[in-house]
A and B are shown apart, each in its own frame.
Chain A
Amino acid sequence: MEKQKKENVFRTLARWLVRWIFGLKYEEKWFGKKQHAEKEIKYKNGVPDDSELIVSPARQVFNRFMDRKFAVVSVIVVLVMFLVVFIGPYFMPKYYDSFTETTQVDLPPTRSFMAVPAELKNDLKSVDSYGSFSVGLSNAGKVYIWGVTRIGASGVNVKNMPEGINDKKIAFAAAGQDHVIAIAEDGTYFGWGSNRFGQIERTPEIEANSNLEPIPDEVANGTLDPTQIKKVTCGYQASAILMQDGTLYIWGNKQTYANLDKFIGRTNMLDIDFTLNNVVGLDSKQTTVVTGIKGLYNTVRPNIGAKGVKIGEYLNGRKINEIRCTTKSLCLLLDDGSICFAGDFDKDVVDVPQLPADERFVDIEGGNYHFVGLTNKGNVYAFGGDHYYQTKVPNLKGQAAKVFAGSFQSYVADANNKLIGKWGLKGYIFGTDGAGADIFQRTIAGGKVTMTVGAIAVIIEIIIGVSIGLISGYFGGWIDILLMRIAEVFSSIPLYPFMLILSSLLSQVAISTNQRLYMIMVILGILGWPGFAYITRAQILVARESEYVTAAQSMGVKETRIAFKHILPNIISVILVNMTLSFAASMQTETSLSFLGFGVNYPQPSWGNMLSRASNATAAINFWWQWLFTSAILVFTTVCINTIGDTLRDVMDPKSSNDK
C-alpha cells in the first residue's frame, strides 16, 4: 500500500490553497486523496477493528482544532494582524502620531496623484499642484487635471473645467489648494474651482469683504498681454501673475496671507511665490527677500542643516535670481548657481548633496516641502522635506531639461518635452483623515495601541482573577466568602460611568500619552477580573473533589503546591477559552471608550478614536473611507479572535461530540 504522507499544518494549508485556486482535481493529483473521517472498516482476525490510536488530550484538542478550517484561518489572520501591527511600524519610520498636513485633508482612497495622462507624457509644458490634484499643460495648449479633483464635501470638482477652455490655446496654468487659473494665448482668463475666498472671480460679496482681495480687472477681463507674462502661480487660497516688466497682479484670501496687502500694485518685482502663510517676492535690487514683514527672512543657510547667516553677509555682492517656496521654507537661487535656504524645516529633511566642481544649479522648483534642483549638466537633485520620499530621484542619465514640483510629487521632462521621470507621493490607499494624515499608517499604529491595550488588560485580569479564584475555591471558608464579596463589589461597579470619571480625572493630571495608555490598561484589567475569578473558582470546586487531588493530599503535598501545580494545569483550558473571548471584549471596550473620547486621545491613534468622526451622519457618508476600512479591520480581527475562542471551547469540551 502506498505510504500516505503525514498531514501537517503547512500541508493542509497548501492543500486548501490548491483546491481554492485549481480545484479538487489538482488537489487530489498533487496531494493524494484525502483520508476522510469515515474510515474504511479494517478487519483484524476476522472482527472489525475499530480501535483508535490513543493520543494525549492536548494532541487530541490540537487535532480537532485543525479540523475546523474556519478556526485555523482565524488563527492565521490574527497572527498576521499581530505581526502587521507590531512589526508594521518599523516599516514606516517616517510615521509619527501628530502628523498634520493642511493640503491633504479628507482625501478619499486614491493612487492617482502621479497619473499623468498619456497625451501629456510626450508634450509636457508645465505641471503645477498645491494640494490633492495636479494641473498639467501641454505645448498644444491643452489643460489636463489628475489626482483627487473633488474638494472636500463642498461639492467643488476642479475636473469641471469652464466652457470654452478647449477652444483656446492655453499658455499658462497654475493650481492652488482648491482652485485653478489659466491664461489663454489671446489673454482670456479662465478660473475654476472654489471661489469661497475670491480665488477665481469677482462677486459683490467678495468686494464687500475686507479680508479678501478681489481679482484685478486687467486679469479677469483678459486685457493682459500673454507674451509679456513671466509667471503665473497659485498659493493656498491666493494667486499671482507677474509680468516681464515687473508689474504684479495678486489676489486671494488676506486672512491666510496677511502680507498680501503689501504686494498689491507693486511694479518692480522679479519673482513671486507663496508659502503657506506669506507671500514672498524678489524685487529688482535682488539682494533681499521681500515679504513686507521686517526681518522675516533675513538670515539664510547655505544648506538645510547648516547654521544661519545674515543674508547681506552671505550674499557678499552676489544677486538672488530666483525664489521658490515650500509651505514653510524658501530656497534662493543665486546668480553664481549656488543655493541657500531660509525659513523653517521639519525634522525629516534631506540636505543638498555636494555638487561636482563644474556643476551648478540653473533652476529650482518648490513642492509643498521639498525642492527640486536642475543643474547645467542635466542632472536633477531633490532635497528638503522627505516625509513621503519626495527626494528619492530616479536615475535620469543627465537628460533633464525641465523640472516641475507638485505638492509631494516631482516631474522631469527632457529637451523634447518628454516626461522622463516622476517620483513622490502616489496617493493613499485608505485615504486621509481630517488632519491630513494617512489613514493606512494610522490604522497600523492604532492597531498596535488597541491590541496592546486589549492584551495587557486581559493579562492583568487573568493574573488577578485566576489567583483570587484559585485561593478562594481551594481554601474555601471565610477566605472564600471574603474574596467573593470583594469580587462582587468589583463586578457591581458600573464600567462605563466609572471609566468616564477616571479618564476625566486622568485628563486633569499632567501625564504623558503612554502613561495614560498604561492607566487605561490597568483600569480595564482591574474592573474585569471578577469574571475570571468566578470561572476559576467554579472549576476548582469541581477539581478539588477529584481523585488526583485527594491522592496528592494524602501524599502530603503542600496546599499551595496542589492548588498551583496540580489543579491549575487542569483548568487551564477553560482559562484559555475565556482569555481569548476576553481579549476581544477588552478590545471592544477600549474602542468604545476611545470612540466616546474617554480612552486613547488624539493624536495617538486607536481603532476607536479613529472612528469618532463617523458619529456625525453627514461626515459618515461624505468621508466614508475614514471609518469603513478601520472598522472593517477591527470587526474582522474581533470575529477571528472570537472564532478561535468558540472553537477552542468546542474542541476542549469533552461533552461536545465530533459532529459539528
Chain B
Amino acid sequence: MGRYILKRVVYMLLVFILLTFVLFCLYQMMPANRAYTDAKAAMTAYKNWPADKQEEKFQELYLEYQRRYGTDTDNKLVLYLRWLGLYPFYDGHRSGLLTGDFGYSYQYAQPVIKVVGPHIRNSFLIGIFTEIAVLGITIPLGIKCAVKKGQRFDRSVQFLSLIGFSTPSFIIYIIFIVIFCSILHLFPVSGMKTPGSTLTGWRNALDVLWHITLPTICLVFGSLASITRICRASMIDALSLDCIRTARAKGLTEKTVVYSHAWRNAIIPMVSIIVGGFFGVISGAMILETMFGFKGMGLLFLNSVRQADYDLIMFLEVIYTFIGLFSNLVIDLTYGIVDPRVRISK
C-alpha cells in the first residue's frame, strides 16, 4: 500500500509539473509586460528631462524592473524555474512557489496568499452546506427510486431529474433569483452581508446566513438532478447483482438487503462523485458566484482573468490543478477502502 501511494504521489507530481508548465507557457503568451508598464510609470518622475536622456533612463529602468521581476530572459524554462523558485534571479536570490512566495496581486495590492484566504473560506462555507444537503437528499432519493424502479414515484422523479439535468445551472439560478428576490423579496440579491452594517456576534452570523441561503439553495438544486440519476443508476446495477438474489434467498429482510448488501456495492461508483464533490467545494462555483456577487474562489478567478492579474491567476490555477490531482489520489485510495477487491489487486 505504501509503495502504491508513493508511486501515485510521484506520478501526481509529474503531471502537476507538466500541467503547470503548459499553463505557465500559456500565460507567457498573454501580451502584458509588467516591467514595461512599471518602468513607464516610474518615468513620470523624469518628465522634464530631454528626450534622449529620457530614453536612456527608460532603458535603464526597464532593465532594472525586468531583473527584479525575473523577466530579463526569453527562455521559458528559466522563467518557469524562477516562478517555481528553483532558478536564481539576476541578483542571485531565489523566490518562487517552493520558497513560499506565491506572488503579488496587482488588482488587490496585496500578496496573493492574503487575497485567496477569505475567498477560500467563503467558498468553503457555502460549498460544505451544499454538499451535505445534496448528498442528504440525493442518496435516499436515488435508493428509493432504484428500489421502486418503474413505479409512479420513480417515473416522476426520473422525469424531474431529467429536466433538472438538462437545464444549464445558470437557468436554474435565474429562475430562483426571479422567484425569491424579485417576486417574493425573501432574500437579498447579492453580497455577503448587508452593506454598511456593523453587526457583531450572533447578529452578524445571522446576517451572513441570510445572505448565503439563496446561493446555497441554488447550488443544491443545481446539482440535485445529476447526482440523483447517478445514485439511482448505480443502485439499480447493484440490485441486479447475483449476491442480492442470494441475500433475498437467504431470507434477509428487504431493509438489510437494500442498505447493507446493495448499498455497499452501489457506493463504489459513487465514491468519485462524493469525494470529488467535497474537494470541488474549494474551487468555488464560478457562475453562481458571478450571479450573486459572492466573493468566492470562482468570482476571484473570473475577476483576475478579466483584470489580467497574472500572479493571482497562476496561483489559482495551481490550486485548481492541485485539488484536481489530489482528489483523484484520494478517490483512488477511497476505492481501496470501500472495495475490498481493489485492495487485494494492489
Contacts and interface: CB of A to CB of B under 8 A. Distances in A.
Identify the 6 closest CB pairs spanning chains A and B, nearest first: A621-B182, A638-B166, A494-B320, A639-B166, A617-B189, A492-B324
B135 to A, nearest CB: 22
A620 B19 CA distance: 39
A634 to B, nearest CB: 7
A500 B162 contact: no
B171 A634 contact: yes
Given A488-B15, A639-B162, A611 B286 contact: no
B183 interface: yes
Nearest to A614: B174
A592 interface: yes
B286 A496 contact: yes
A596 B286 contact: yes
Interface string A489-530: 100111011101110110010000000000000000000000
B19 A489 contact: yes
Query: Looking at chain B's contact residues, is the secondary structure mostly helix, strand, loop, or mixed?
Result: helix
B305 A504 contact: yes
A194 B183 CA distance: 26
A615 B174 contact: yes
A631 B178 contact: no
Interface in A34-58: none
Contacts of A620: 174, 177-178, 182
B223 interface: no
A508 B29 CA distance: 10
Contact of B26 (A496, A505, A615, A638): A505
A631 B31 contact: no
B313 A634 contact: no
Interface in B286-330: 286-287, 290-291, 301-302, 305-306, 308, 313, 316-317, 320-321, 324-325, 328
Nearest to B328: A492
Contacts of B31: 508
A492 B171 contact: no
Contacts of A493: 19, 321, 324
A624 B18 CA distance: 46
Interface string B180-219: 0111000001100000000000000000000000000000
A227 interface: no
Nearest to B29: A505
A355 interface: no
B59 interface: no
A434 to B, nearest CB: 16
Nearest to B286: A496
Nearest to A581: B165
A646 interface: yes
B150 interface: yes
A244 interface: no
26 contacts: A485-B15, A488-B15, A492-B19, A492-B324, A492-B325, A494-B317, A500-B301, A504-B30, A504-B308, A505-B29, A508-B30, A508-B31, A588-B166, A592-B170, A595-B168, A595-B287, A596-B302, A611-B171, A611-B174, A620-B178, A621-B178, A631-B168, A631-B171, A638-B168, A641-B166, A643-B162
B290 A634 contact: no
B320 to A, nearest CB: 4
User: Which of B150, B165, B171, B321 has the most chain A CB within a 10 Å cutoff?
Assistant: B171
B167 interface: yes
A137 B19 CA distance: 71
Nearest to B31: A508
Interface string A633-654: 0110011011100100000000
Given A592-B169, A615-B170, A620-B177, A494 B26 contact: no
A611 B308 CA distance: 25
B301 A497 contact: yes
A620 B182 CA distance: 8
Contacts of B168: 588, 591-592, 595, 608, 631, 634-635, 638
Contacts of B150: 659-660
Interface string A429-469: 00000000000000000000000000000000000000000
B260 interface: no
B185 to A, nearest CB: 11
B163 A615 contact: no
| Interface bin, chain B | 35 or more
B253 interface: no
A617 B287 contact: no
Interface string B1-41: 00000000001000100110001001101110000000000
Interface of A: 485, 488-489, 492-494, 496-498, 500-502, 504-505, 508, 584, 588, 591-592, 595-596, 608, 611, 614-615, 617-618, 620-621, 624, 627, 631, 634-635, 638-639, 641-643, 646, 655, 659-660
B240 interface: yes
Given A492-B19, A494-B321, A500 B170 contact: no
B165 A642 contact: yes
A497 B183 contact: no
B166 A642 contact: yes
Nearest to A595: B170
A298 to B, nearest CB: 45
Given A505-B29, A621-B183, A596 B316 contact: no
B162 A642 contact: yes
Given A492-B19, A500-B302, A635 B167 contact: yes
B166 A584 contact: yes
A638 B178 contact: no
Contact of B163 (A496, A635, A659): A635
A646 B162 CA distance: 9
A635 B166 contact: yes
Given A492-B15, A617-B177, A655-B240, A592 B305 contact: no
B283 interface: yes
A617 B218 CA distance: 14
A497 B283 CA distance: 10
B337 to A, nearest CB: 21
Contacts of B169: 592
A489 B22 CA distance: 11
Contacts of B328: 488, 492
A106 to B, nearest CB: 16
B290 A638 contact: no
A508 B308 CA distance: 11
Contacts of A639: 162-163, 166
A648 to B, nearest CB: 14
A85 B320 CA distance: 37
Given A592-B169, A615-B290, A634-B171, A501 B305 contact: yes
Given A492-B324, A494-B321, A500-B301, A611 B182 contact: no
Contacts of B27: 501
A629 B167 CA distance: 14
Given A494-B283, A501-B23, A660-B150, 20 more contacts: A488-B15, A489-B15, A493-B321, A497-B317, A501-B26, A501-B313, A504-B308, A505-B29, A508-B30, A588-B166, A592-B168, A592-B287, A608-B168, A617-B182, A620-B174, A620-B177, A620-B182, A635-B168, A635-B171, A639-B162
Nearest to B182: A621
B217 to A, nearest CB: 15
A584 B165 CA distance: 10
User: Which of A608, A611, A617, A627 has the most chain B CB within a 10 Å cutoff?
Assistant: A617
A618 B182 contact: yes
User: Which of B18, B166, B286, B290 has the most chain A CB within a 10 Å cutoff?
Assistant: B166
B299 to A, nearest CB: 11
Interface string B34-57: 000000000000000000000000
